[in-house]
Structure 1
Amino acid sequence: MRTKSLLTAVCIFCSTYSFAEELFDVVVVGGGAAGLAAAVSAAENGSKVILLEKGLRVGGNAYFSGGYYNAVDPELQKKAGIQDSEELFVKQMLESGAGKNDPEIVKTMVKEALPTLKWLKSKGLKFQEGITESFGGEWRRSFKPISPDGQGYIQVLLNDALKRNVEIRTSAAVQEITRDNKGKVRQVRYLDKKKERQTVEARKGIILAAGGFGANLELVGKISPDLGTLGTDNFVKNTGEVMLSAQKIGAKLVNLEEIECLPGAREEGTTRSRLHGDTSRFILINAKGKRFIREDASRSQIRDAVLRLPKKMAFILVDSEGLRSYSKLVQRDTIRSIEAGDVIMGDTLDEIAEKMNIPAESLKRTVTAYNESVVNQIDPLGKDPKKLIHSLKAPPFYIGFAPMAIHNTLGGLAIDTRARVLDEKGSPIPGLYAAGEITGLTHGANRLGGNGLTEALTFGRLAGRNCSQND
């Protein structure tokens, strides 16, 4: 799709520049993981920072995320018997991205992932001891905080931002980004809580970290009509206006058609089943009670396979040991899903098959065959033997509806390795930076599970530092 068709025109200088009354060194737009990381990084590099958040609170998509963060940590991984390297991580990302991600952006994220992990730990974020693999992650390199999933990152960064006197304004909906007469990005114009128009100016630069457009199903439908009818698990404010505002002043958009899906809430349901946290703990089945794809396939492969099913509906099955291995937050959400009828619990496979209207004999054969695959370390669907480690035998069993929902958008603003936003000619736009899901060159055609927070936090940290140093 031609990105310019999203707007009727591209206007480099959309409004007359005039000096704003409020002046900061750095203006950050967006209060999710990327925005908070950028604000903290800029502040610790000596800048006076303001953060504008469209929602009632900070957190964005990260607040609701599973909390997985990917990094190559040779020391900890070696102790866990995991062979890994930055070169392997880069290779997997580029292969997964199908030629649509930028190799230098990928290398930068991978290189900065461990320093950023240590940076987070230095601020008090504590992680679980084990190293795991997120759904669609393809390797055991995921770190997970002790605090409930993604909320831990937000709380630690928010506390640090407040300690550094970062000014945070919520219910601030950005309307326009402007450049001065020399072409440098200078101002952000937004509507405040009272719907009054306000303007803030940046001496050094503006960092865009407002997330993707996964909650804007109208825009999703224009870009990918087949996905526009799906639901979304996105933060409701992730609607893409900031990205389009940047395009108005000349920013280049890339890969907008790459939209990722994960198991979400069914149309008639009220909760989202979150039983897919660990690829070694669950199986995916169809309405006939049969597996139809290996659980460790890429997210894009699983998305396409589910969308080919009758009624586009799959199911996720775990046993009690699997559920207990998940975070307390997922366990709590599962109880709510059971109460809402979106997850079914049963002491036997016959019981859950009857409740879900799935052929019982077929389901039992599927589970028996899978358990044999765990013992034999050979899966007919090709699941990695390293993930064939847990049988499904411990009652009660849990089965949840697993239709696809828009999870995140992989396309967005083109940036360079310093997180500077690029124009249509590939040149940095003076004073404009971006980080997180609003950008579009990190993942390409598929995002490895656990890379969302890694991208947001590493490039948020880089953007804050580089903008503050006005590199």
Structure 2
Amino acid sequence: LVVVGGGLAGLTASLTVLDRGGRVTLVEKEAYVGGNSQWASSGINGVIKTSFEDNPDSVEAYSDDCEKSSYGNGNGRENLDPETVEHIPTLTSQAGATIEWLRRRVGADLSLLSRLGGHSYARTYRPNEGMAGSSLVFALKGKCEDYIQSGRFKVVKKARVSEIITAEDGAINAVRWTPSDGSNGSNVGGEVRARHVLLATGGYSNDKQGEDALLSKYAPQLTKFATTNTKGTTGDGHKLAFGLGAGAVDMQRVQVHPTGFINPEDEGADTKTLAAELLRGAGGILLNRSGKRFANELGTRDYVSARMQEEDAEKLDFVLLLDEKGASEANKHVPLYVKKNLMTKFDTLADLTKWMSVRGNTTESQLRATLEQYNDQANAGLDEFNKTYFANAPFKVSGPFYAGRVTPVVHYTMGGVKVDSYGRVVRADGTPVAGLFAAGEIIGGVHGKNRLGGNALTECAVFGRLVGTNVNIVSNTDAPSAATEVPKLKIPKRDRIITHEELAKHASADDCWVALYGRVYDFTDFLDDHPAGADAILRYGGGDGTKIFEAVHSRNMLNDF
């Protein structure tokens, strides 16, 4: 199997195939594995009845929430084609078992449970340390790499698949790739032979330039918005699939997420950091520039985004506000956002008012009235926006507060390549394209007009597992079983004391040391592979980066170093 794309879907399928005895070559166009999956922070959805006593959730309730969300901004089902949501039953029925597999086989910590907007019950799982997406990607990557020594797992990075080569009868023979960084010399590209190809290349939210740009073609009205996606999210897999005759589903359906952070140091940035859905799930409220609420913060994404555009179409500049209790529940996210200067702590209402009034006409009395009214409505169990769930209420009016500026951003493409319930790519008439599979954001038929928070990671893992389970492979007897522990290399311990003065000398791109948890790590060779870019490490070169590291990652990630 050749897997094109190294996000959660690609890694999940890879490990499943490897555990079954197959061989996998993973081709990734970035310098690192992880894709957009590693930025997902709110969690992964699934119904696990045993999560707590008397859990009222069910697969039927989860399916109902997905279907209601798929209508889009309170609309009915009449404008949805049957194929638009044909895969909801597969998603919701397999999600719980997939989470259990991630825990059991991959060792993923998914111990915390929360309720996100649009969900009737708490069913979104995340780790106790680090962010959900990066933790899952890192754990899966490690399990796949256990197979490298056997020769059954290979990774080709900085490689963009430019063609899927087929025989006269349509059977897949190989994929051809070229350097994605434009480099010349000996790295001119190559071919990887394969009978099966999985396209797990994500969406097309950043595909705005060129004659074949998918976002410009199918949703040109959204090209004015910034995006949360990496620069490589350009629909490569879609174009490969359509070139082989694949059908398309709802390509015009692109999700605008209501809360992308406005970075005060770069307000006009085309790529913005997502303010995780968890913040609103923990009790965060949205305010306009006058200090007033204008929406049910736990409404579906398209509803909240639409309300923001109605409220302030010119500026699209809003405030996401949490009190101490809400920030404590989001105890990984808020410290990270504060560290990145995307959120600010204010000790008093007066301090918050001063900050907000620079960009609007809010007053301290207006803010106080807004918060007191919110508390009264929380106590009554209903507000004017039909909000009925008020996490961590009452909102503490005296402070402290955590606030950040947010704006709608292009976030996710619901439409995509047409597949069947096994992840096989199919033509418009439903006949399969021989040997071709797709999983993750690239596929259509799951979300309709609007995706529920947490369903991105769910979609990747569920359909990655389905493809990995159903692809036809030749069994290999040297494959360890899923329960087998592959021993790690034992590295001799060679500790020595590093002084602060010596550490400070290693602070350049050619020589970068960082102290973490009282130990010093040499990240020089890792800088170009770091998903957030080299600068995110270099700024802590020659010093201590423990606080920012633990806000994003789990400590066991350091085992690789």
Give yes or no for TM over 0.5.
Answer: yes
Q: What residue is the counterpart of 1:349 in the other structure?
A: 349
SS of the aligned residue for 2:12 comes to helix
Deviation at 1:69, TM superposition (A): 0.7
In 1, distance between residues paired with 2:353 and 2:444? Answer: 42
> Residue 172 in 1 paired to residue 145 in 2?
no
Aligned to 1:462: 466
Aligned residue among 193, 198, 213 for 2:190: 198
Could you say which structure has the greater relative contact order, defined with CA pairs below 8 angstroms and 6 or more residues apart? 1
Matched residues, percent identical? Answer: 29
Deviation per residue, 1:367-387 (Å, 9 max, x gap) = 1111112222222211123x3
User: What is the CA deviation profile of residues 400-425 of structure 1, one whole-angstrom value per residue up to 9, with x for unaligned ones?
Assistant: 11101111111110111000001121
Which of 259-268 and 270-279 deviates more? 270-279
Give the match's secondary structure for 1:351: helix
- State how 1:214-363 maps to structure 2 within 5 Å: 214-218=205-209, 219=213, 220-262=215-257, 263-266=259-262, 268-269=266-267, 272=273, 274=275, 276-278=277-279, 279-310=281-312, 311-337=315-341, 342-357=342-357, 358=360, 359-360=362-363, 361-363=365-367
Whether 1:189 and 2:164 are equivalent positions in the alignment is no
Which secondary structure does the structure 2 equivalent of 1:446 belong to?
Answer: coil
Counterpart check, 1:119 vs 2:121: no
Match of 1:391 among 394, 410, 414: 394
Three-state SS of the structure 2 residue aligned to 1:333 is helix
Contact 2:16–2:468, Cα closer than 8 Å, also in 1 = yes
Cα distance per residue 1:339-392 (max 9 Å; x no partner): xxx43432222321221214122222111111112222222211123x354222
C-alpha distance in structure 2 between counterparts of 1:440 and 1:275, whole Å: 24
**Equivalent residue number for residue 83 of structure 1:** 56
Once the two structures are superposed, what CA deviation does each residue of 1:196-243 show, in whole Å capped at 9, x if it has no partner?
13111213x100001001122344233223211111111221111221
Whose radius of gyration is greater, 1 or 2? 2
**Aligned position for 2:429:** 425
Show CA shifts across 1:84-119 (max 9, x none).
111111122122212355554111111211121111
For the structure 1 residues 273 and 46, does the alpha-carbon distance in structure 2 shift closer, same or farther, using more than 3 Å as the test?
Answer: closer
Q: Which residue of 2 aligns with 1:9?
A: none
Structure 2 match to 1:31? 6
Residues 399 and 254 from structure 1, CA distance in 2 versus in 1: closer, same or farther, beyond 3 angstroms?
same
Per the TM alignment, residue 135 of structure 1 is displaced from its structure 2 partner at its CA by 4.3
SS of 1:177 mapped into structure 2: strand
Q: Secondary structure at 2:220's aligned position in 1?
A: coil
Aligned 8 A contact 1:52 1:169 in 2? yes
Structure 1 runs not aligned, ≥5 long = 1-25
Q: Kindly provide the amino acid, as one letter, of the partner of residue 392 in structure 1.
A: F
**How does the TM-score come out when normalised to structure 2?**
0.74
Q: How far apart, in 1, do the equivalents of 2:108 and 2:162 lie?
A: 37
- Residue 167 and residue 329 in structure 1: after superposition, are their counterparts in 2 closer, same or farther (change >3 A)? farther
Change (3 A) 1:67 1:124: farther
In structure 1, give the amino acid aligned to 2:240: S
Q: Over residues 296-351 of structure 1, what are the superposed CA-to-partner deviations in whole Å (9 max), with x where a residue is unaligned?
A: 111111111112232122221111221121142442222322xxxx4343222232
When normalised by structure 1's length, the TM-score is 0.88
Partner of 2:406: 402
Q: CA separation in 2, counterparts of 1:152 and 1:168?
A: 20
- Contact 1:36 1:154 (C-alpha < 8 Å) held by counterparts: yes
* Conserved 8 A contact 2:47-2:57: yes
Judged with a 3 Å threshold, the aligned counterparts in structure 2 of structure 1 residues 307 and 167 are, in CA distance, closer, same or farther, namely same
- Alignment size in residue pairs: 437
**Match 2:201 to one of 195, 210, 213:** 210
Residue 415 of structure 1 is matched in structure 2 by 419
Q: Secondary structure at the match of 1:464?
A: helix
Shift of 1:137: 4.1
| Aligned position for 2:138 | 155
Please report how far the alpha carbon of residue 67 of structure 1 lies from its aligned counterpart in structure 2 after TM superposition. 4.6
Paired residues for 1:106-145 under 5 Å: 106-145=88-127
Structure 2 segments unaligned to the other structure (5+ residues): 72-79, 475-561
Greater mean deviation of Cα atoms: 47-56 or 367-376: 367-376
